[in-house]
Amino acid sequence: MRARSLALATVVALTSLGALALAGPATARKAPREFLGLVPQNSVTSEDAERMGRGNVGIVRFPLKWEAVEPTDDEFDFTAFDKLIGDLAAEGIRPLPTVSGVPAYVDSDPLALPVDNASQKSQWQEFLRAVAARYGVGGTYWATVFPTQHPGAQPLPVKTVQIWNEQNGPKHAHDPNPKLYAELVKISHDAISSEDPSAEVLLGGMFGTPRGGGGIKAWKFLKRLYGSAGVKQSFDGVALHPYSPDLNGIKKQIKKMRKALKQKKDKGTKLWLTEVGWGSKKKGRLGVGKKKQAKLLKQSFKLLLKKRGKWKIGGALWYTWRDLSKAQAPCDWCASAGLFNTSGSKAKPAWRQYVRFTGGS
């Protein structure tokens, strides 16, 4: 996977650059459309996808849960993901699935990495092969279902699969363990590449400084990960969730990750920021108010675009699309992290800043 054709990458980059050449601030012209994306925290409707398309959103990251696809052993149901992925692709938005979760028939703990025994590993790989065979390059979905759902639209296969989410903290992976996660990455690489050799494997986004007992700082987790034989050849990118009250905190976390990559002689590897954001209400650790949310989006995107080459940033994805009710929100500021209100009917000032960078409307 790492030996992807430089010529192909150049063509793709130039094509995407052309699409942005007349839009947005000068910094946006330096990056392909897929550099800037979103991470919805609620279900994405067809109307959401259409609105994202008008906003020229480049990539959308979403959870593709194993238990949702295969609730019963050997019975796969991709109906919901066919709709989501199809709606995004039809709007020119690249789908970026984060695969995670464990069905109850595999393990009673849905947050336990499925690497305890040969049976768990085999079943996880079966799930990933099914995902890659359906949505990857040449996938069955694009040849059969997509043309009927979206006549005339161009397929946009999944080209990157992210393995788990915030595996360095106890909220998403019980008993965070770099060695166990390395095993998951290796078997995931083997399964995905067997169906789509062109697909890239992206490490799960690591919370910079996870809270709660057992959490491991992202850069420390990454350095320990490299201690597992063969893992370096099994992924193409590293991901970080550098949440911070200010830009200085983001800079420090990125630099620590890049330093860790350099120390492990892997300084050419891209670093994705698969979550970055703040809340529009002054509630919670990162709740800053509407005006400051917009200001921080502008400043962070400008910084990441400027440093894209030096820091080898693969993409920057805003968390999140629409607000949630307080009862549904996964953190103390997440309820107001959206670019739109809960219903999606009203855009915030941060959305106006977002489309200045994408050239959308």
- Examine the pLDDT at 16 and tell me if it is beyond 80: no
β-sheet bridge partners, residue 198:
none
Tokens 């192909």 sit on residue: 8
Length of the chain counted residue by residue: 361
Q: What six digits make up the tokens of 160?
A: 């990157």
Write down the pLDDT at residue 25: 55
3-state secondary structure 130-147: HHHHHHCCCCHHHHCHHH
The whole-number average pLDDT for the span 319-330 is 96
CA distance 51 to 353: 15
CA distance 61 to 5: 24
Helices (H), ranges, 286-346: 290-306
Helices (H), ranges, 196-343: 218-225, 247-263, 290-306
The 8-class DSSP code of residue 27 comes to G
Tokens 């790989």 sit on residue: 125
Q: What's domain 33-358's architecture?
A: Alpha-Beta Barrel (3.20)
Q: Is 3:284 a contact under the CB 8 Å cutoff?
A: no
Model confidence pLDDT, tens digit, residues 27-74: 445 799 999 999 999 999 999 999 999 999 999 999 999 999 999 999
User: Which among 104, 92, 12 is positioned nearest to 53, based on CA atoms?
Assistant: 92
What is the model's pTM? 0.92
The whole-number average pLDDT for the span 118-128 is 98
Residue 174: strand, helix, or coil: coil
**Cβ count near 145 (within 10 Å):** 18
Write down the pLDDT at residue 92: 98
CA distance 360 to 356: 7
One DSSP character per residue, 193-216 reads: HHH-TT-EEEEPPEESS--STT--
